[in-house]
Every structure is written in C-alpha cells, then in structure tokens.
Chain A
Amino acid sequence: MVGKLFKHEIKYYIRSLMFVEIILFAVALMTRIIQFLENDSIIYDIVFGSSVIMLVITTLAAIFLIVVMGVVRFYKNLFSHEGYLTFTLPVSPMQHLFVKLSTYMLFVIVTVFSILVALSIATFGDVLVELVKAGAYLFEYVGDRIGHLSLIMYAVEFILLLLVSVAQQMIIYYFCMSVGQLTGKNRIWLSLGVYFIIYIATQVFETILIVIYSILDSANALDGIIDYIGNHIEGCAHFGLWFMIVFYALVSGVYFLVSHRIISRKLNLE
C-alpha cells in the first residue's frame, strides 16, 4: 500500500509543480539567450537585468511553492472533505504520514536540483566553466588545509543537517495542523496558535541557553572547555554537526509520533 500511496502522491506533486518548473527553465534559457546579444547599450543592461531579476523571483517562487504545497497537501488531503476518502483507504495513519513526509522531502530535493540545473542553463558557457573552476579550486584549497576526507565529511554533514532541518520544519507544521483539527471550528487559527507557541517556546529556550553560556563564560567556568575545543577544533566541529543532526532528528521523531498519535486516536472529521 505504501508504494501505491507514493504513486498517487508523486502524481499530485508532479502535476502541481510542473508549471513553475517549466517557467523556471524557460526564464533560465531566456537569460542565457539574452547574453548572446551582449553589447554596451543601456537597453541590453535593462533587458539582461530584468531577466536576472525574473530568474531570482522564479527561483524563490519554486522554493516557496514546495513548502506551501507540503502544508496544503497535508491539510487538504487529511483534514478537509478529501479526508473522507483518504482515511477510508485501507492504509494506516503511520503510512499516510510517512508517505506525505517522504514525498515532500523527495520534491524538495527535486526542486533544489531543478534550481541548480536552471542556474547552469542561465550561466552556460564561459561563466559556468569559471564557476566550476572556482569550485574545484576552493575544494583543493580547503582540502589541502583540513584534508579532503574531512572536507567531504563536512559537506555530507551540512547536507544531512539541511535535510533534517527541512524535514523538522514540515513535521512541526504537521503537528500544528494535527492539533488544529481537534477543534470543529477555527482549525486554521488553532494551528497557527500552536505554531506561534512552539516558536515562542523555542526562542525562550535558546535565550536561556545563551544567558547560561554568558554567565558561565563571564565566570571563566568554560575556559577548560573552550581551550579543549581550540585544540581539537576539527573533531569538535564534526561532533557539533552530528550532535545537531541527531538532535533535530530526535525532535522531529517526537513531533512525528505525537502527530501520528493524534491522527490515530483523535481524528476529528466533523
């Protein structure tokens, strides 16, 4: 059943994202074609500048759209009138949640890949060659100083951290909507209220941590730790990144399980 859910979920995303992806590639292609007409006139500068602005706007729209789609798809498919069909399919709530999140993450990756392809199209030729050369030079330069293996590790860790944070953000939205549906009316307001409370609580928690750090630092209580980190910067940086990956994954897991429990035990399609 999971495979079938994926099939229908992917179809929905393709159908909804296709339009903006086509526009993105078209604008990228237009930007590249305009560069063939390069001259010193002000008109060229205006046309080229406009196409670059359009490319930036379309890129931002693609990023914005994927997040909005993740939220809208979850809410509409589970808690609107569509929920009557979704929740009468012989599929468990865990499978629904898993497929929704996985498909969203898949299309986040597809969107990032599309943006990279669009930027490659827009810069195709000398500019792209120079960019690739600069990237290769940077890789060699940093790799020579910290080791190529360590650099690759950093890259993997950053990508993982990015993916886990993107997933965590969407799972928090899922959680807010799952709580919101508990009420018959004002579902969206309750969802927004829950999100606001989570946001404030996170800010308060971070502020408390900073205050504790400042107090300990001013009392020189962290000197030993800071010295240790200074002497083992490489290992500590990797540890810090893995700590954040695991922490975000655990927090996401908790939100995911609570959302699942709410949907399993307290589904409210009034």
Chain B
Amino acid sequence: MSELLRCENLTKNYGSTTALDEINLSVENGKIIGLLGPNGSGKTTLIKLLNGLLTPTSGEIFVNGKKPGVETKSVVAYLPDNSFLYNWMTVEQIVDMFCDFYADFRPDLAYKMLLQLGIDPTRKLKKLSKGNKEKVCLILVMSRNALLYVLDEPIAAVDPATRDYVISTIINNYNHDASVIISTHLIADIESILDEAIFINKGKIMLHKTVDEIRDENGCSVDQLFREVFRW
C-alpha cells in the first residue's frame, strides 16, 4: 500500500467563511472511498484543492507525494460536478484532445463505451442532452489509467438507470492499483462499492473508517450512520 493523498492541517477560507478547517487526511491506493457530507460541507473544496484549482489558505496537500502541479495532474483523473468540456468540440475531437494530453488515456475504451451508450462521436457536445454530456464526461475520465480518480457528484443529476451504468462504469474501468474518491450525498446508491467512507461536515473530517469497521462498530449501514450523524 502506498499513500496517494495526504492533507496536513489543510485550511481553505473564502473571505470570512471557512470551507475547510485544518483537515488531516491520508488515502492509500487500491481503495474506493466515499467522500460523504451534506451540501456545503467542504467536499468540492477539498477536491478542487487536490486538483490545483484552488490554493490552500494554510496547510499542505500532497498527491502521490507531490504538491498539486503538472506531475500530479498527469496521474489524477478528475470529474467535476459541472460540465467541464469545451462545448464547441465534437465528441471525437475531445477524445483526441485527451489522447494528446494524457499519456494514460485509452481511446479504444472510450470509443467502446460511447458505442455501448449509442453516443455519436461526430456530434458536437453542445448538441448532446445534459445526461449524455455527463456520460461523455464520465467516459473520458474513466478511460484514463490514472492513479487517483476523483469523481465529484457523479450520480447526483442522473436517472436511476443511468446511475447504475455510472457505478458499473466506475467499477469495471478503474485501474485496480489506483484509488477512487467519490463525492456524493446519495450514499445508498454507492455504498456497495465503497471500501472506506469519509464523513465531512462544516469543513472538518468527522469520521474516516473502512465500511466494514462502520458496520461492525455501529451495527448499521454507512447510509444509516450518515443519516444519524447529519440529522437536523
């Protein structure tokens, strides 16, 4: 086991609001980890920090032993919670772009998944439906042979059938030496594939345990514990 992600006293403030408050965290490889918390708990901020899209107010974050930068970006596959693709491109143009920039990208796998979903690669992204656009985003990310997959709310805006497809795509396509961090509040849907769960609330880590430990110690599922911990 090697450490893929480490946060040391990581803090991020937006003006007077503290989004992350002195977080300490360590994630090893070969795991699927649920980053679980209510809206506004700091999940997306943590994900953006590890992708270098935000800079910490204080503390440090290391991905595969290095601060976020060119080297870490070549080993992290990131799916944001909004559409991040260039809308003016066609699907095959964006596939070409991923081929150009990511040495670990597998275009054959991407085209295979596009075919399975009946998405025409010659279509422009702006002409695709919202759901299909999200599927293309997921296909691009999961077609990489990355060390760390970071998926921010991958199932939040899709119907239940697509949700199953998304989850099976994640399980079937990730590099098993890698780790997958999935941020969501739809825990019941992904609980079966999780190895570990991280509960985050108001910028603080409330809990970081394996799913088995949670079940053994609390006698309930992760979803049930989540509802108990975050009850209004």
**Is B53 a contact partner of A83 (Cβ separation < 8 A)?**
yes
In the complex, A92→B97 CA distance in Å? 17
**Is A90 a contact partner of B70 (Cβ separation < 8 A)?**
yes
Residues of chain A with a CB closer than 8 A to B54's CB? 267-270
Residues of chain A with a CB closer than 8 A to B69's CB? 92
Selected contact of B101 from candidates A4, A15, A83, A87, CB within 8 Å: A4
- Say yes or no for A232: interface residue by CB 8 A criterion: no
In the complex, A92→B71 CA distance in Å? 10
- Say yes or no for B149: interface residue by CB 8 A criterion: no
- Say yes or no for B102: interface residue by CB 8 A criterion: yes
**Is B52 a contact partner of A267 (Cβ separation < 8 A)?**
yes
> 0/1 per residue, A1-32, Cβ < 8 Å to B?
10010011000100100000000000000000
**Is B86 a contact partner of A91 (Cβ separation < 8 A)?**
no
**Is A269 a contact partner of B73 (Cβ separation < 8 A)?**
no
- Chain B residues with CB under 8 Å of chain A are 14, 48, 51-55, 69-71, 73-74, 76, 78, 80, 82-86, 88, 97, 100-102
Total interface residues on A, using CB and 8 Å?
25
**Is B80 a contact partner of A90 (Cβ separation < 8 A)?**
no
**Is A85 a contact partner of B84 (Cβ separation < 8 A)?**
yes
**Is B55 a contact partner of A88 (Cβ separation < 8 A)?**
no
**Is A88 a contact partner of B53 (Cβ separation < 8 A)?**
yes
What 8 new A-B contacts, CB under 8 Å, besides A77-B86, A82-B86? A4-B101, A7-B100, A81-B84, A85-B85, A88-B51, A184-B14, A266-B55, A269-B53
Residues of chain B with a CB closer than 8 A to A270's CB? 14, 54
In the complex, A34→B71 CA distance in Å? 60
In the complex, A242→B101 CA distance in Å? 40
Could you list 10 A-B pairs, sorted by A, with CB under 8 Å?
Answer: A8-B97, A12-B88, A81-B83, A88-B73, A88-B76, A89-B73, A90-B71, A91-B70, A92-B69, A268-B54
Check A4/B73 contact, CB under 8 A, given A81-B82, A85-B84, A85-B86.
Answer: no
Residues of chain B with a CB closer than 8 A to A145's CB? none
Chain B CB count within 10 A is highest, among A4, A85, A184, for A85
A219 → chain B closest CB, angstroms: 53
A12 → chain B closest CB, angstroms: 8
Residues of chain A with a CB closer than 8 A to B78's CB? 84, 88
Residues of chain B with a CB closer than 8 A to A8's CB? 97, 100
**Residue of A whose beta carbon sits closest to that of B73:** A90
Residues of chain B with a CB closer than 8 A to A92's CB? 69-70
**Is A84 a contact partner of B100 (Cβ separation < 8 A)?**
no
In the complex, A7→B86 CA distance in Å? 15
In the complex, A87→B80 CA distance in Å? 12
Check A89/B101 contact, CB under 8 A, given A81-B83, A184-B14.
Answer: yes
> 0/1 per residue, A253-269, Cβ < 8 Å to B?
00000000000011111
Residues of chain A with a CB closer than 8 A to B71's CB? 90
Chain A CB count within 10 A is highest, among B54, B73, B76, B84, for B84
Selected contact of A267 from candidates B55, B73, B74, B102, CB within 8 Å: B55
Residues of chain A with a CB closer than 8 A to B74's CB? 90
**Residue of A whose beta carbon sits closest to that of B141:** A88
In the complex, A77→B87 CA distance in Å? 11
Residues of chain A with a CB closer than 8 A to B100's CB? 4, 7-8
